[in-house]
């Protein structure tokens, strides 16, 4: 195991430009929160509760996804296609699993960090949310899952356009459909079943249940875990293919 140097370097780069990092990880989630929470959702109720309380866990999941997948895939893609810095790692005694893990953990750290800052904003504006260790663990798992997906996507992409397409066809639809802003139950079939294919849907469902203080559905936890393992496996194999 020699994944740490890879994680270490990415963290060093973040420490060099902390403000850029903060801004880039905060803009989207705060915009969503302001638009859908305060703007659209003020005074709105969902299933007997406030929409603001309903929507925050979803936006936290979204934020963990975006700030993991986006930076991980972009940075790896640039490293592979343009700066070629990945070749330094590929000629060093570091395995493909180490590379995948080092990069995925970067996503975990970034996704979790942005979700936590948003959580602070949420609490400051009076959102009711039952915070527990499980809640944070699931946020971490969500960030890990999409960090691994980001590694796999970047290794598959043969160009910047490929990367943009992953975003347009995979990430953006998921952002809007995967139970972030509404409950999947409200959707008619077959959309409802389709939405349940998205890993983000299960992250939102689990987080929402935990935030309300109730036990999450075991199947959603399992689906999210299975996706995480699958994406990580894919990430390792795609790195191996490139080496």
Partner 1 sequence: MITTSNLTKYFGALGAVQSVSFSVGKGEVFGLLGPNGAGKTTTIRMLTTLLAPSSGSASVGGYDVIADPLGVKRSIGVVPQTLNLDIDLTCAENLEYHGRLQRMKREDRTSRIEELLHFVGLREKKDMPVEHLSGGMRRRLLIARGLMHRPAVVFMDEPTVGLDPQARRMIWGLVESLKRNGITILITTHYIEEADALCDRVAIMRTGKIIALDRPVELKKSVGQFAVECLGRYDVPRQFFPARAEAIEAGRDLCTDVVVRDVTLEDVFISLTGERIEG
Contact residues for partner 1, defined by CB under 8 A: 2, 4-6, 8-9, 12-13, 16-17, 83-85, 87-95, 243
Q: 92 or 217: whose CB is closer to partner 1? A: 92
Q: Least CB distance from residue 92 to partner 1, whole Å?
A: 4
> Quick check: 60 and 118 in contact, CB under 8 A?
yes
Q: Least CB distance from residue 119 to partner 1, whole Å?
A: 29
> Quick check: 235 and 68 in contact, CB under 8 A?
no
- Burial (CB < 10 A; 0-12, 13-18, 19+), residue 169, is exposed
Q: 86 or 203: whose CB is closer to partner 1? A: 86
Q: How far is CA 221 from the centre of its chain?
A: 15
User: Tokens in use for 79?
Assistant: 């490293």
Q: Least CB distance from residue 63 to partner 1, whole Å?
A: 25
Q: 16 or 189: whose CB is closer to partner 1? A: 16
Q: Least CB distance from residue 12 to partner 1, whole Å?
A: 7
Q: 5 or 215: whose CB is closer to partner 1? A: 5
Q: Least CB distance from residue 239 to partner 1, whole Å?
A: 13
* Residue 45 bridge partners (DSSP): 50
Backbone dihedral region of 96: left (phi > 0), alpha (psi from -120 to 50 degrees) or beta?
A: alpha
Interhelix angle 18-32/51-81, nearest 10 degrees? 140
Q: 94 or 223: whose CB is closer to partner 1? A: 94
């Amino acid at each position: 195991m020699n994944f740490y140097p890879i994680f270490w370097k990415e963290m060093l780069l973040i420490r060099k430009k902390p403000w850029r990092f903060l801004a880039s990880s905060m803009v989207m989630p705060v915009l969503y929160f302001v638009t859908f929470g305060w703007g659209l959702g003020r005074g709105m109720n969902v299933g007997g509760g406030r929409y603001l309380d309903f929507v925050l866990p979803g936006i936290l999941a979204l934020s963990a996804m975006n700030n993991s997948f986006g930076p991980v895939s972009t940075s790896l893609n640039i490293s592979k296609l343009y700066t070629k810095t990945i070749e330094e790692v590929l000629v060093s005694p570091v395995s493909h699993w180490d590379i995948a893990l080092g990069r995925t953990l970067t996503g975990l750290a970034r996704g979790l960090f942005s979700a936590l800052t948003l959580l602070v904003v949420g609490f400051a504006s009076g959102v009711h949310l039952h915070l527990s260790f499980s809640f944070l663990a699931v946020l971490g798992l969500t960030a890990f899952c999409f960090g691994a997906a980001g590694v796999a996507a970047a290794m598959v992409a043969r160009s910047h356009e490929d990367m943009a397409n992953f975003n347009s066809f995979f990430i953006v639809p998921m952002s809007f459909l995967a139970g972030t802003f509404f409950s999947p139950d409200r959707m008619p079939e077959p959309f409802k079943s389709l939405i349940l294919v998205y890993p983000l849907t299960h992250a939102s469902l689990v987080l929402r249940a935990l935030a309300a203080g109730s036990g999450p559905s075991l199947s959603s936890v399992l689906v999210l875990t299975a996706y995480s393992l699958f994406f990580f496996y894919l990430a390792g194999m795609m790195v191996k293919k490139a080496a």
